[in-house]
Structures are given as structure tokens and as C-alpha cells.
Amino acid sequence: MAAKKTMTLNLTDAEMRVLDELCEKKDLSKTAVLRQALRLYQLIESRVDKGDKLFFEDEKTKEKAEVMML
Amino acid sequence: MTITVSPIFLFNAERSEPEAAELWDGITDQQLGDWEGEWVPELFKAVQKLHRAGVERRHWPQSRHWNWRKKTEALQGMLAHLGFSIVCNGMTQGMMIVDTTMKRCRIEEQKGKNLVYVEFVENAPWNRPELAQPPLYRGIGSILVRAAIALSQEEEFKGRIGLHSLPQANSFYANTCGMSDLGMDPDHQDLRYFEMTPEQAEAFIAKGNQP
Amino acid sequence: MRIEITKEWCLRMAEIEANAEIGAGLYALDPVFDGETMPANETNEEPSIAFGRFVRLMRRDRGLTLEKLAEDTDVEISELVEIEDDTHHKPELRTVYQLANYFKVPRSNLLQVAGLTAPRDNRLIDEAVRFAARSESVAVLTPEERAALEAFVAVLSEEK
């Protein structure tokens, strides 16, 4: 991996709790979770910029709910 | 883009001796140039007989990935996708594209966990047994799998990787790499899906350390 | 990312890997032509009908079973069945070669009739359509069928 820079991140208690939960669930460090989140965010943004739509599909009903990206 | 080069070795089957090579953590213009200037013409030779017989392109057995440059360029700058390439004797010998974001593990014991998904692996035509007799360089597949494992460890995914193997490569991923075969995947043109656990990753690395 | 791999590891694994195929991922498989390809449904339907009909009548005219023709031409019997019965079937190139040799007609003509090459000779294609229409019955080879077959063979056999 390329050289990394360190930054300070200001999070509320609630945000920090979510981050801790995600780290626990995914067995990843805070850095790894946030890097993963950044990649996903970039990916979605680039697809939405191209005009693609983002959906969640219910596995049973096959019903699709569009996630609004404004 | 900044490329980090790791020194590696390939086995040159023509001269029957090791040859120093490089593993790059990226796919650059040089790779695309090699692909367009050397790989594609070599593939083309393999189908030239059909071409001469007047058979249309769509019937060529190896007619594929003609818009690979477009695909690679679309991935440039995307954090979710990384490329690797192997360079030996000034020429690109193998390439791999991985996705660190979109896929999750399928094996029960690690279901839902993050992994490095190998989207694409290809050997240069002159290293492929169905196109070259005999193939020139050996070891490219193992080094690319090793690179995917190293990335997975770096990302804290502990060596977990997954991929859809082409039918003729099933044996390599099952036996040489020791990955779990999860069977044909109807969502991926019935290619077999293989996944590696952290233990299998360790075993794969250990395999090459045994005399 | 720098990855430490020893020379010994590389060479040991190269030995184990040997000449294995390593291709993986849909992208290594997908036929992609950047829009240069002709969609499958653009191909002319009639020549395929004519091709299957031609093989069937030539076979029956020689009193051959499918098994015997498969054996004589070294073609899989399943492929012959598909050629005769499925008008959408795209035969293998080799199969068309084998059949052209066996029935002694020019390969390039039979390739056109089989829909594997773009039609270059309109008369050949017209004749193929007429042949398909005239030879519709598949019961016994009637004198009419024989006449149709012979007429078509005559056209097919013309070297350009």
C-alpha cells in the first residue's frame, strides 16, 4: 500500500458507537472500516453520477426500493 | 499513479532456469500497450486460421476482452479496484484486477466477512498451454494469488480471497491453491466459485516454503 | 504495496503450478467485441434450415443411419442430431468441414449455407431457401425430394 497519512476525526458518541459496532461485527480496525466506507461511498457516487440508480431488493418479494441519492 | 515494484522470480521453461521479474501493484499504460501490441496479436494468431477460412469473429473461440482498455480506464482512480501486473524481460506476463469492496465471503464459517475478490486474472498468450507449445514462463498464477492474499492481509481481511475460475483453470485453484470449491454459480455464467479461508491462505504460502 | 516473496517460494510454486491454466473472472471469458459483432438474431434463418435439411437428405440418400454418418465423418452424433433437427443450431466449424469433405461440396459454399460465414453469393442463398422449401417432407426420400436434392447439390458443387 502507498504511504499513509494520519488524520484526526471528530465523531459524536453515537457515531463512535456505530464505528465500534462495525469494527466488532466486521472484525476490522477503525481505520479499515473507514477506508472500506470511503471506497464504497466513492463507488456509489461514481455510479450515481453516471445516471445509475441504487436499489435494495427484498430477497423474498423481489420488491425493489430505490435509495434516493440527492 | 505511483507503482511499487516487488522483486520476484519466474521459471523460464525455454531456458530451464529462473529469471528475475517484477510484481507491480498497478496496471499502467505500459501494460495496456503490451496488451494491445503483443497480447492481442498473439491471440489473433491463434485464431488466424479461422479468420482465413472466412469465419466471422463471433465464432472465434478465443475472441474476447477486446475492450479491456476501456474497462481498465473505467477503474482508474476507483479505490475499490486495484490492479497487479507481472513484468519480466520488459514485457507484461500476467495481469490481475481485484475488488476490495463489493463482495462478501460465502463459505459458512466466514460468511458475510469482507474479502479480496479477484475480478480478473489472465496470463500472457505465450504463457498459456492452449495457445503456446510449450508455454514460456511458469509461476505467474501462484504469484498473483499470493499478491491477492497479501492485499487481503493488508486490508485486515486475513487472507480471505474469492474468484470465479474459468473451467480450464478449476484444477489450479482447487489443487494448487487449495481453495474451497463452492460449485457452479448461475449468476456468473456457471463458472465455479472458489474461496480461500485464512487457514487455506497460510497453507498455500507454506506450500511454497516446503522443499 | 511491497510484497516480500522469496526466490525459493517463486520457483517452488512455479514447479507446482507447471503449465496450469490460471484464467479467472467473467472478464476473461466474456466475448466482447466493442459493438463490432453481429447480434446472433441477425443471421439468416433459411440457410440454417437448408443446411440441416441438406445433411438429412444427403444422409438418407446414401441410406446412412445417423450413427454411421457420425462414424464416417468423425462428428459427434449429438451434433448431427442438432444439425438435422434444430434450425437454430450453429454447427461447429470443424463439423461443416468434415461434412463438406464427406459430401464432396466446396467448404466455403457449405459454410455460407450453414450460416457460419456472411452470405457472399446471393444465388446460393436463394437456392438454399428454395431447397428448404421444396424438400419439406421428411418421410421417405421421394423422387421429388431426390430431384430437389440433386438440383441443390449441383448448385452447391459449383466452384467459383
- Residue B84 belongs to domain with CATH number: 3.40.630.30
Confidence class of residue C36 from pLDDT cuts 50, 70 and 90? very low
Structural domain boundaries enclosing B85? 5-209
Which residues of B are less than 8 Å from C30 in CB distance? 64-65, 189
**Least CB-CB distance to C17: which of B70, B121, B138?**
B138
More confident residue, C36 or B104: B104
Number of domains in chain B: 1
The pLDDT score that the predictor gives to residue C110 is: 84
Chains that touch C (3 or more CB pairs under 8 A): B
- Decide which of B152 and C48 is more confident: B152
pTM over 0.90? The answer is: no
Predicted local confidence at residue B49, as pLDDT: 47
Instruction: Out of B69-73, B130-134, B200-204, give the one with best mean pLDDT.
Output: B200-204
pLDDT of C81-129, one tens digit each? 888 888 777 787 778 888 988 898 887 788 778 877 766 677 777 787 7
- Selected residue with higher pLDDT from A7 and B51: A7
pLDDT of A1 over the 60 cut: no
Identify which of B58, B123, B143 has the shortest CB distance to residue C37: B58
Could you tell me if C139 lies within 8 Å of chain B, comparing CB atoms?
no
Q: Are B167 and B77 in contact (CB under 8 A)?
A: no
**H/E stretch holding B71:** helix B68-75
B2, B3, B117, B156: best mutation site toward chain A, by most A Cβ within 10 Å? B156
The yes-or-no verdict on residue B2 having pLDDT over 90 is: no
Nearest to B101 among A26, A29, A40 (CB): A40
Residue of A39, A44, A47, A57 to mutate when probing chain B, most B C-beta within 10 A: A39
Instruction: Supply the mean pLDDT for chain B.
Output: 88
| Strand bridging mode B161-165 / B116-123 | parallel
- Nearest residue to C113 (alpha-carbon basis) of C61, C60, C57, C75: C57
Does the distance separating the beta carbons of C111 and B165 come in below 8 Å? no
Over the stretch C2-12, which tens digit does the pLDDT of each residue have?
999 999 999 99
* Residue C44, pLDDT score: 44
- Complete domains list, chain C, with CATH: 42-156 (1.10.260.40)
What number is the average pLDDT over the span A53-67?
82
Our CA-based measurement puts residue B62 at a distance from the nearest CA of chain C, in whole angstroms, of 8
Domain ranges of chain A: 15-66
pLDDT of A17-55, one tens digit each? 999 999 999 999 999 999 999 999 999 998 888 888 888
